[in-house]
Structure 1
Amino acid sequence: MRPAVLTTAAAVASLVAGLLLAGCADVEPLPEIVPGPRPTAAPAVKAPAAAPRRTVGGPGSGCALPVSFALAERWAPKAVEDPEDPEFAALTRQGPATVRCEVDAKPAGQVGFLRVWTAGKGSARAALEGFVAAERNTSAVVYRESRSGAGPVTEVTYTVRDEPAEESKEERAFAVATPKGTVIVHLGGLDTEEHRAMVPAYELARTTLRAR
């Protein structure tokens, strides 16, 4: 009986081997995988465009002025109503100048205004000197010449004595001559600390000033 068993086992092994060989012959080789190029740098991300600065002085800006300038963030311009009314001359006139516009710092969390005044044609220095001379209790008055986008300007810094409060505070202004007359931009403030905190808004106005 042993030779029969061996013969049968050999036949089965031969059959399995044949099937395996036949199956292997039918399998196609896998395609070669080639890695793609790796990025050498992160893709550039375009920064969002900065919002344009608000300006005051032109049509629809809150105040119609002979000049325009950029506003500090959240500062709010408003035209002075009827500044030529003689009944309110004590509030709307100072020396040769009449106030035309108030730019309020309160929306930005500060206490004070940039006020824009206009005077007749002539020397910016003379108009500014008359403006300061009409202010009561001034001291430490210093004038200097500087530049703006509208041309040469005269600047002044000074202190004003507040008698009821028994203290002094700093103030400053600049004046520029334009074809439509002299413009004076003045920065006050509740006190010296508030005034100094608002100087960047004043400098922004001076450096971006344009005649209209």
Structure 2
Amino acid sequence: MALAALATGLVTGLVTGCTAEREGSGAASGTSAKGSAKVAKRGGSVGAAGSACELPVAFDIAEFWKAKAVDGADASGADGDLAELLDAFAHQGPVTLACEIDAKPAGKIGFLRVWTGAPGNADARTVLKEFVAAEPQASGAVYREVKAGDVTGVEVAYTTTSKLLDESKQEHAFAVTTSEGPVVLHLGGLDTGEHDAMLPAYELAKSTLRTTAA
């Protein structure tokens, strides 16, 4: 998908800086508890060779959700201020947008987005902290280590506040490191209600996550 097509998502990124965080194993508002989380019905998978998005990890996606690869490094067709805005939207902290899984075909408003980074020495918690720190108006971050699929990573629950709408909403993200670099799975949503409705799809992805590296 051409990066210029992401321009429709820029308003959310532009209207939502400072980050507060907490460490711990407790759950923030909206954080799913192990053993009680609802998991969506499987509709397919992404990540493996030949799938809609080829990634360092593979996971199942919810029924009716639609995956599309995004080349976050490609700003062709844009210049000047637009190119800068697109670049800012496609990069967050140490990672670059690689895949969008759209909930609209399932009747919900939001995306499960996959971000990838270059191989390095940073662990999953460091990557995730940098990801959240780069999120405008992020606060109340709670981190915890979790086992997901066949890997262990770090999850964060936090809120973002829109200056334009004067409204806060819940966000979740999960990070793992692979031999091909870090991967961040992020679930946003139009608002907290939509976010909560999409959590089962996020839990499905997280619980089925596996690496694709040989």
Q: How would you bin the TM-score normalised by the shorter chain?
A: 0.7 to 0.9
Residue type at the aligned position of 1:97: V
CA distance in 2, matches of 1:157, 1:99: 19
Higher relative contact order (CA 8 A, sep 6+): 2
CA distance in 1, matches of 2:176, 2:133: 18
> For 1:63-82, what aligned pairs fall within 5 Å after superposition?
63-80=53-70, 82=71
Work out whether 1:190 is the aligned partner of 2:190. yes
What residue number does 2:89 align with? 91
Judged with a 3 Å threshold, the aligned counterparts in structure 2 of structure 1 residues 52 and 195 are, in CA distance, closer, same or farther, namely closer
The 4+ residue runs of structure 1 with deviation greater than 6 A are none
CA shift, 1:92, in A, is: 0.5
User: Unaligned stretches of 5+ in structure 2?
Assistant: 1-40, 76-82
TM-score, normalization by structure 1: 0.73
CA distance in 2, matches of 1:52, 1:114: 14
CA shift, 1:149, in A, is: 1.8
Judged with a 3 Å threshold, the aligned counterparts in structure 2 of structure 1 residues 205 and 52 are, in CA distance, closer, same or farther, namely closer
CA shift, 1:183, in A, is: 0.4
User: Unaligned stretches of 5+ in structure 1?
Assistant: 1-50
CA distance in 2, matches of 1:169, 1:113: 14
What residue number does 2:146 align with? 146
What residue number does 2:14 align with? none
CA shift, 1:184, in A, is: 0.2
Structure 2 SS opposite 1:71 = strand
CA distance in 2, matches of 1:53, 1:199: 15
CA distance in 2, matches of 1:115, 1:52: 17
TM-score, normalization by structure 2: 0.72
- Is this contact kept in 2: 1:110–1:194, CA < 8 A? yes
Kindly report the root-mean-square deviation, in angstroms, between the aligned alpha carbons of the 2 structures: 1.5
Residue type at the aligned position of 1:70: D
Deviation track 1:111-156 (CA, whole Å, cap 9, x = no partner) reads 0000000123331111110000001111111000100123111000
- Is this contact kept in 1: 2:42–2:63, CA < 8 A? no
Query: Which among 38, 48, 55 is matched to residue 45 of structure 2?
Result: 55
Deviation track 1:58-94 (CA, whole Å, cap 9, x = no partner) reads 12321110110001000000001x3113633111000
CA distance in 2, matches of 1:177, 1:79: 20
Structure that is richer in helix per residue: 1
Aligned length, in residue pairs: 161
Residue type at the aligned position of 1:111: I
- Is this contact kept in 2: 1:104–1:114, CA < 8 A? yes
Percent identical residues:
53
CA distance in 2, matches of 1:75, 1:134: 27
CA shift, 1:100, in A, is: 0.1
CA distance in 2, matches of 1:150, 1:119: 20
Work out whether 1:134 is the aligned partner of 2:123. no
What residue number does 1:23 align with? none
Structure 2 SS opposite 1:110 = coil
Deviation track 1:10-34 (CA, whole Å, cap 9, x = no partner) reads xxxxxxxxxxxxxxxxxxxxxxxxx
